[in-house]
Structure 1
Amino acid sequence: MEEKKNIVLIGMPGSGKSTIGVILAKALGMGFVDIDLLICQREGCTLQEILDERGLDAFLQVEEDTVLEMDQRGTVIATGGSVPMRRASMEHLARSGVFVYIDVPLEELERRIHDMATRGIAFGPGQTLADIYAVRTPIYRRWADATVTVAPSGGAASEVAAAVAEIIEKLGLDAAAE
């Protein structure tokens, strides 16, 4: 069995994947990649500009294309919240990574996210955060190799990162292995 070398964080927008990922990568001596930032660099604009100017389907395609171009090893990868909506993206990331789902209650996400329309979140016309949560949560759970559940009041990013590191250790992931 091929050993997985990346830690891929999945979860809803606002779950803290990017912040947790930076802390986790530093603690484990790994690289860090934020897929949303890769998209911005690749496209030369913000996620919200892609959504506003090209639409949801084009955004999801750009996101998938960006993921399929990735070839990281020994890296903590923070996915955009919509990455798991594309099977090809997830299959690509699964070849070299272990998925950790950062599970944050809807109420906490609603507290963290004040304006979905300007945050670069992929959602369809009329969809609410609750709608997205209802659709995506089962998908995150299906792909997750492990789950870290954040308390309803929201855990500190450093605490969540420590919980992820503990799970990774239990899974026997050796990021330095070749």
Structure 2
Amino acid sequence: MKKIQDSYKKPIPAKISLLQPTPVITAIVPLQPQEEKIISDQERLVAQVERINWMAGELEAAILELKAIANTLNTQKRYPLIKPNQCKNICQYLAVSVPWVRKKSDQSFILTTRRVDLFRAEREAALLAQQLRQQTKKRLASQQHRKNKAEADIKRFFKKH
């Protein structure tokens, strides 16, 4: 059997001795904070305009959702806190608008308001219902016309024969 020498008993070669300083070729660059993106006042203004208009859209959606919830409650007629004979609708609606920023032709901005159309869905539903009724009337009239024509053709056929 081969005898293994203890490595700790060997002297450390001079080239890798810890006692001798070794020259450093590359140094680790210390961490530096990243430069903040510097944006101009014009860019900040445009960003704020976009933020206001986005928030206006969110507010409009929340208002329309409020109306939808109130309509659902109105159709269910379940008001735990309100007596049924006190009011017909759980919510009343007045003219509503949200803040809105518009860009003018000279590239300046104007802070104004935009009207929230609370009854657009009802108007669109009524218009769609009207269009469907008209299509149904036309279809029925067309079917009646074909039926009358077929009956007339049958009568002519039997008169000839």
**TM-score exceeds 0.5:** no
TM-score range, shorter chain: under 0.3
TM-score normalised by length of structure 1: 0.17
Indicate the structure (1 or 2) with the bigger Cα radius of gyration: 2
TM-score normalised by length of structure 2: 0.18
